Amino acid sequence: MFKGRLGSPLRLGVAGAAILVTLMFTSPASAVNRFATPNGNGSGSPGVTCTESPPSIPASAACSISQAFTALGPGDDLTLLGGSTYPPIEATMDVDQNATVHGTPGAPVTIPMIETVGTAAFVHGGAVLRDVQIVAGVIGDLDAGVQIFDNGMIDRVFVDAGFNAGANACVAVNDGPVFRDSVCWTRGSSGAGVFLSVAFGQTHTATLRNVTAASTGGNGAGIRASATNPGSNQKVFATNTIALGEDAGTLADVYAQTDGSSLAIATVTLDHSNYSSTDTLNGGAITDAGANQGTPPLFVNAAIGNFAEQPGSASTIDQGTANVVNGVGLASLALSGQSRCLGSAPDIGAEEFAAAPCSPPSTGAGTSTPAVPAPAKKRCKKKRKKHSAAAAKKCKKKKKKRG
């Protein structure tokens, strides 16, 4: 579903309104696989259901991304074909509950979001957004690149929140959002790469796994956690995560704060992560759970959003962990589609440095692939060399039996 400026539904006419009403107030009988292409017009999809795709129909006859999101319902799977840049969107991209929207691993689609006010994309409870690059706020007045609700997840997603002052790239809403193998980048001043907040006495938990959270516009934090009102509790678990802030002002790479209310708590717990500065306010707390790195990473070119590691980035390459943390395990692929099993351990951050091919998988815990035994004749020859005359005589008897 798409929403227009300020989060209100787009005006789609009578037919479009009927589709929106159906999606909002009825549950589909079963999940539907839908498709979109960069140059699609929906002419080959019956009733613009977006269930047809190349090669059964021409790419131009498949659905456009706007048509596909209009048809998208809870639990559906939407494949964004093409592996290239889609036409700019002037509305909020809305991933329904339990739906999955994805491009192709290693060839993500790029979606420019223009004239966007508020948030460029919503990922609702149980939904997944994967293998997509969102370039937000090219022209508009943006507050957030992506908001992830409840148990929603972004996986191998690159978010560029642009130069909007105060804009946060990725925002956690409610309890249970997961950020994995993704880059959350804002270039505006006073914004956060990942912002997490709670209020009204609630307890929220969010998990970051192999995330690069970067704020490069000045006076911003890579990770910022906040709790407001008495009894509010914001918990953040960051594993294999890079937090990069601009601490020329009052913030840092990792920042935790409360409004000073009674029993308000905001805690960021980091392990196997990379950050060099922290700051807290009132009841904010930052916990070092071990194996963290303080030397800044060496990126290929962070100024233009290339957060891949250079060969000499010793503080991130092979410094991560494969352990499950807060119920979230290591994914098989990194942001750019490369395997996570390169090197002696996973890297810290969204990318994985490809220094060598993956090692062959083990056949089981603590075991290795057994060697194939040599033919009988070769075994006998080896015994003659190594053992006594009695062993050689025994070998001769085996030969007679085979004869």
> Which pLDDT belongs to residue 139?
60
What CA–CA distance (Å, rounded) separates 52 from 59?
A: 10
Kindly report, residue by residue over 169-179, the tens digit of the pLDDT. 999 999 999 99
Dihedral angle computed from the Cα positions of residues 61, 66, 70 and 75, in that order, rounded to the nearest 10 degrees: 90
With contact defined as beta carbons under 8 Å apart, do 232 and 260 qualify? Answer: no
Instruction: State which amino acid sits at residue 268.
Output: V
The tens digit of pLDDT for each residue in 61-99 reads 999 999 999 999 999 999 999 988 999 888 889 999 999
pLDDT in the model for residue 7 = 35
Indicate the CATH number of 2-309 among 2.160.20, 1.10.3470, 2.60.40, 3.40.190: 2.160.20
Which tokens in the block code for residue 219? 């006076």
Of the candidates 177, 277, 193, 183, which has an alpha carbon nearest to the alpha carbon of residue 235? 177
- What are the structural domain ranges in the chain? 2-309, 374-403
Alpha-carbon gap, residue 51 to 49, rounded angstroms: 5
Answer whether 54's CB lies under 8 Å from 80's CB: no
Which pLDDT belongs to residue 387?
Answer: 41
Q: What is the distance between the alpha carbons of residues 275 and 309, in angstroms, rounded to a whole number?
A: 15
pTM for the full model? 0.82
Which mean pLDDT values do the consecutive 10-residue runs of the chain (403 residues) have?
39 32 42 94 90 93 94 96 89 92 94 83 97 82 92 97 92 97 95 97 98 94 97 98 78 94 97 96 96 97 95 96 95 94 90 68 34 38 41 45 45
Q: What is residue 140's predicted lDDT score, i.e. its pLDDT?
A: 64
SS3 state of residue 20:
helix
